[in-house]
Amino acid sequence: MLRKFALPVLLVLTAACAREPELAQPLEDLRTLAADDMEGREVGTPGNARARAYIVERFSEIGLTPVNGSFEHAFDFSRPVDFRDPQGERRTLAGVNVLGLVEGEDRSRVMVVSAHYDHVGYGEGEIFNGADDNASGVAALLAIAEHFMAHPPEHDVLFAAFDAEEGGLNGARHFVANRPELPGEIAFNLNLDMVGYSPDGDLYAVGTWHYPVLVPLVEHVADGAPVRLLTGYDRPTDNPRDDWTLLSDHAPFHMAGIPFLYLGVEDHEHYHQVSDEYEIITRDFFLGAVETAVRMAEEVDADLDAIAGAVSGPEN
C-alpha cells in the first residue's frame, strides 16, 4: 500500500511546496502594510507615504508598467475639519494614487483592479493598523498583478492602489474624473476592500443586482471557490449599511456607468478598531479570498467584451 501511494503523495507534497511562495507573499504584503511603522496609513502622513513607497516597490518588482510615465499620481481634495460637522470648515489635503499596468493582447478595453491603501491613522497612543481594512485588499491586488504578469491577460489591466478612501472615496473619485491616457476605454472595475477576516468563511461579490450580466460569471467562480462566495448587499434599502453600492471605491465607477464587482466581507467587531491587526486575519480564509479574487479577475478579463456590450449604464 505504501509503495502504491508513494508517487501521488510525493506529487502532492511537491505541489504544496511549490505553492508556498505564492501563499507566503500575500501574507507578507499584508503583514508589512499593517505594521506599526506604517502608523495607520492615514492620508498625508509619513506612515501613508511609507506604505505608498512599499506598494511602488512591489509594482516595480512585479514588472508593472508605470501609467503615463509614473506609478505615483498626486491629487488634492478637501474634507471637513470635523467629520461631525460636514457643512463646517474644510481643509485641503494631498493624496497619491499608485497606478500600474499590465498590457493585454487586445488594448481596446481596460479592467481596473482597485484597493485603497489608506486607513484612519492613530490617536491617543493607539495605532489603527487596518489589517483587514484594507491591507488585505492591497495584498490581494498585488497577487492578481503577479498572476497577470505570469499569465498575460486578454485585455489591459490597470492596478490602482487608491489613497484617501476613508472619508470620501477621494482617490477613486479623482481617478474616474481625471482618467489617465490609455489606449482603450475603462470597461470594468474589480474592487477589493476587506478580504482578510471572516470567521464564517463568507466573501461577498457585490454588484450583480445592478449588472445582471455578471450573475453567471460570479456563479461560475463560486462553484470552484475555496471560500463561500455569496452575492447581495447591493439592492436599494432603507438601511444604508445594507447596500454597499456607494460605500467603497467602486462607487465612482458605478456612477460613471462603468460596471463593477466589489469583493469584501461583512462589517465585524474589528472594523475601524485598534484590534484590526495582522494577528486577527483568518489565514485560510484570506488566502482563499485571494485565490477567488485572482480567478474572478481572470473570468472578467475573458468576458470583458461581452460585459461591455451588455451594459449601457447602471440600473440604479
Q: Is the pTM of this model over 0.85?
A: yes
Sequence letter at residue 305? D
pLDDT of amino acid 312: 63
Tell me the pLDDT tens digit for each residue of 215-226: 999 999 999 999
pLDDT along the chain (316 residues), means of 10: 36 42 87 98 97 99 98 93 72 96 98 98 92 98 99 99 94 98 98 97 98 98 98 90 94 98 92 93 98 99 97 56
pLDDT of amino acid 83: 58
Sequence letter at residue 11? L
> Is 235:243 a contact under the CB 8 Å cutoff?
yes
Tell me the pLDDT tens digit for each residue of 18-54: 444 477 999 999 999 999 999 999 999 999 999 999 9
Tell me the pLDDT tens digit for each residue of 50-87: 999 999 999 999 999 999 999 999 999 987 776 567 77
List of domains in the chain: 25-310 (3.40.630.10)
Which 8-state DSSP code applies to residue 91? Answer: E
Cis peptide before 134 (omega within 30 of 0): yes
| DSSP E strands, the chain | 65-66, 72-80, 90-102, 106-116, 122-123, 126-127, 155-162, 185-192, 202-206, 228-231, 260-264
